[in-house]
Structure 1
Amino acid sequence: MKRTIFLSLTFLFLSSLFPLIHTQAKPMTPSGNVPTFITNQKLTQSNTEFSFKLFSNLVQKSQNENVFISPASMILALSLLYNGASGQTQQDMSQALGFIGLSLDEINQGNQALQNALQKNQEQIQLTIANSLWTRQEVKFNETFLKNSQQYYQAEVSRLNFTDLGSVKTINQWVSDHTQGKITQIIDSIQPEDVLFLINAIYFKGMWQTPFDAKLTTPQTFYLANGKTKQHSMMSREGEYAYLETEQFQAVKLPYGEGQLNFYLFLPKENSHVNRLLEPLNAEQWKQFTGQFRRRNGLLAMPRFKLEYETNLNETLKTLGMNRIFQKADFSKMTNASVEVSEVKHKTFVEVNEKGTEAAAVTSIGIRATSALPSQAPFTMIVNRPFLCVIQDRQTETILFMGTIVNPQE
């Protein structure tokens, strides 16, 4: 019988660590052995390419439904899992994630530097990252795998008695604490074949560089993808924006804080659909778009919204070429036990209002045993129909969140 691994990636706001009684890695700091972030163009492009492929697949399966994910969380957790893969399993993961041509050291050191560069604790921006491994106490795991998890991903490693009903509560409490209570549960139970829960957590909170005036927020008509309409709270502001307009869409870039992180909002033209924006989108096209924004005066009206999203990523990852991690897996660099991934679970939370954005996400993977220009006229952009939004870090070009909002909720 194969034993199973549960992989959970959590993207969220972090404030304080849950008081742990297990091995705890030292927090990341800009000093010491943590490298300063230096752009690895291949890794950056691979991450962006994977982000759009995964997101596009999920949107295709969720017609006329809100989709909101954290690609960064998924990539970090899958990279951690990649450290335990060997043989054809490793090759399949490398192909799907775009790691071909990169050594394991390059991937780990790149991710270590990336996490260090992403984390910010400023007056207007909070962004922190945490990883944890929860292992069945009677199963032995490879020391190199555990060491890499701690050294490069600052993972907290805990050996638990999985037969104790309190273990479920302990893991879920860690998730809740690292998401400021936005996500309170990632696992329902622990099965006899479960041997490892791998969880990545990121917390983000950003205040708009120029906030919206709440007094100007008014109910307006929002046109849903199914042809119906609803009344919804719309924020509005006149001023100068980084703006881009093509025959297919209008787009604005809204900076958080001093502009280290940005919120991109793409609105398809009235005769188009938000899903059509994704058809040509890849890493190269995205970089081309983000390089074309120009300062321009205009009026922006956009929905205030809050939503929770949850999905199982097993079928999506199989479609992207990672079928082998779920069956006939080779994780011999992780443990001598015969193991495979049982479930990859992803949860997110996001709230966008007049002050800024708060978002959280949890992705879990379980492993089981088997056997604009001054001369241009001001623009008007009324976001009253389904749209695409992306939150990206400027320095590392990492896509932290992305979503299609077809029915905003409050």
Structure 2
Amino acid sequence: MNKVSTRGGRALYGCVAAVTALLTAVGCAAQDTDPTLVRVAAPASRPVVPDADRQAAATGTTALGVDLYHSLAGGSAAGNLVISPSSMANALGMLLPGARGRTATEISSVLHSALPPDRFAAALGALGRDEQARADADRTHLREGDAVWTQKGFGLRRSYLEKLAASFGTGVHAVDFRSDPEGSRRAVNDLVRRQTDGEIKDLFPSDAITPDTRLLLTDTVTFKAKWQHAFDPGATVDGPFHRLDGSTTTTRMMSHQGSYGYAQGPGWQAAELRYAGGHLAMDVLLPASDGFPRFAKSLTAARLSQLLGNLRDTELDLALPRFTFDSQESLNQTLAQLGMATAFGAGADFGGIPADAGQGLAVRSVVQKAHIAVDEDGTTAAAGSGIAMGATAAAPSRSTAFHADRAFLFLIRDLRSGQILFLGQVTDPAR
């Protein structure tokens, strides 16, 4: 049904970022022959993105991911968790060019970016295209799509739409939130579901889209990849897994002996499992027994970068549990505490979005849903991020044992850019 321009592909399953805005305005860009699609032409050429900007965006995404991890898990026995730093960065990155003043400054701070908003958005877009090219070379399923959903007759600033089109390859859908909010919600959710191969269903719940809704931004990332070194299902056996509370559960434990990236330090080990083609990998961070809370609490973006930089090819006797779980988080308080409080209040300034700059906008809710599944063949995962906005009133040769039989952290990243697609912890794979 509805069409949308897509930017690149990604593999591990579906990451979705969404932004909802409630506004009032008039005017609309000229529609395409498709009654739901408004085409906004991007500039004749994409903005030139220096390598330094790409690296800054990837570094900022990592720092945002670590901040979100600490806020949501806190290194405690909070349970299994998976989040998508890249999805949230893309959602905020699409919103940022429309923010002004203190609102823009605070969003940039949460994104750990010193780049101007337009350059940050362009850098995120370039990262996505670069990662897509590497995934294509690896024959890995990696896909990303972005779209703007707007109320029919509602005017958006053309310069804002052109920036999104140039950076993210967005298409624009005109629907009738005012007269048919439920039908509009189904249309948005259906596109998200199809873009993520069915992994993200009902991104927006029944009460999230109302007759006052005027704008949504959606970003989807889908990823599915096979291991470079697959586990033999015949070698998977029941084994113990030690929970954070001291109890033990039985889980299906995969095993393989081979060469992996490996590093160790006082109280921790790390192993890197590459996906086929070698450009994407899952890193497993395994604290010592009884050391998980302390290790997780001490994790920073800088320490993570240093730790991953120490990985060296090592012959490992590797054991890893199969695991599948979902996470759903509300991020309003988290992002406000991280420094983005103005965006949630009457003082929010998103004047760069509506055609009528006098219309006020404020963020009402931010959520993320995510899914991950790891087995002998590879990894699939899904994540959905939503930002709802409302109108304001105003090398060793010997084998080293690496047995993930206790709580551990994991991340999935692009090895060239370092951008983290997914980040989380496993405290009970049998849950």
Normalising by structure 2, we get a TM-score of: 0.85
SS at match of 1:251: strand
When residues 34 and 205 of structure 1 are mapped into structure 2, their CA distance, relative to the original with a 3 A threshold, is: farther
> C-alpha root-mean-square deviation of aligned residues, in Å?
2.5
Residue in 1 that maps onto 2:246: 227
SS at match of 1:240: strand
Structure 1, gaps ≥5 residues long: 1-9
**5 Å matches for 1:68-87?**
68-87=82-101
- From 234, 257, 260, give the equivalent of 2:279: 260
Preserved CA contact (<8 Å) 1:11 1:348: no
Residue in 2 that maps onto 1:150: 165
* Alpha-carbon distance in 1 for matches of 2:131, 2:337: 29
Once the two structures are TM-superposed, the CA of residue 24 in structure 1 deviates from its matched residue by 5.6
Identity of aligned residues (%): 29
Residue in 2 that maps onto 1:317: 335
Residue in 2 that maps onto 1:182: 199
- From 115, 124, 131, give the equivalent of 2:128: 115
SS at match of 1:116: helix
> Is residue 2:357 matched to residue 1:373?
no
> Is residue 2:104 matched to residue 1:90?
yes
**5 Å matches for 1:60-75?**
60=74, 63-75=77-89
SS at match of 1:279: helix
Once the two structures are TM-superposed, the CA of residue 124 in structure 1 deviates from its matched residue by 4.7
SS at match of 1:227: coil
Number of equivalences? 391
SS at match of 1:83: helix
Preserved CA contact (<8 Å) 1:213 1:236: yes
- From 179, 184, 192, give the equivalent of 1:167: 184
Deviation readout 1:42-93 (Å, 9 max, x if unpaired)? 3333222222112111112973311101101110110111111011111111
* Alpha-carbon distance in 2 for matches of 1:224, 1:271: 10
When residues 35 and 129 of structure 1 are mapped into structure 2, their CA distance, relative to the original with a 3 A threshold, is: farther
* Alpha-carbon distance in 2 for matches of 1:11, 1:285: 27
When residues 20 and 199 of structure 1 are mapped into structure 2, their CA distance, relative to the original with a 3 A threshold, is: farther
SS at match of 1:296: strand
Residue in 2 that maps onto 1:308: 326
* Alpha-carbon distance in 1 for matches of 2:326, 2:406: 19
SS at match of 1:151: helix
* Alpha-carbon distance in 1 for matches of 2:249, 2:430: 11
* Alpha-carbon distance in 2 for matches of 1:124, 1:57: 36
Residue in 1 that maps onto 2:422: 401
Residue in 2 that maps onto 1:346: 368
When residues 177 and 20 of structure 1 are mapped into structure 2, their CA distance, relative to the original with a 3 A threshold, is: farther
When residues 299 and 37 of structure 1 are mapped into structure 2, their CA distance, relative to the original with a 3 A threshold, is: farther
Preserved CA contact (<8 Å) 1:64 1:225: no
* Alpha-carbon distance in 2 for matches of 1:26, 1:129: 19
SS at match of 1:81: helix
Preserved CA contact (<8 Å) 1:11 1:201: no
Moved more, 31-40 or 157-166: 31-40
* Alpha-carbon distance in 1 for matches of 2:41, 2:225: 25
SS at match of 1:60: coil
Once the two structures are TM-superposed, the CA of residue 34 in structure 1 deviates from its matched residue by 7.0
Preserved CA contact (<8 Å) 2:108 2:117: no
When residues 36 and 373 of structure 1 are mapped into structure 2, their CA distance, relative to the original with a 3 A threshold, is: farther
* Alpha-carbon distance in 1 for matches of 2:39, 2:239: 50
* Alpha-carbon distance in 1 for matches of 2:165, 2:248: 50
Preserved CA contact (<8 Å) 2:40 2:161: no
One-letter code aligned to 1:103: P
Once the two structures are TM-superposed, the CA of residue 13 in structure 1 deviates from its matched residue by 3.9
Residue in 1 that maps onto 2:3: none
- From 409, 413, 419, give the equivalent of 1:392: 413
Deviation readout 1:122-171 (Å, 9 max, x if unpaired)? 56521111112212224322111111112211122112101313111101
* Alpha-carbon distance in 1 for matches of 2:341, 2:412: 29
* Alpha-carbon distance in 2 for matches of 1:315, 1:308: 21
* Alpha-carbon distance in 2 for matches of 1:285, 1:127: 28
- From 345, 358, 371, give the equivalent of 2:380: 358
* Alpha-carbon distance in 2 for matches of 1:168, 1:363: 15
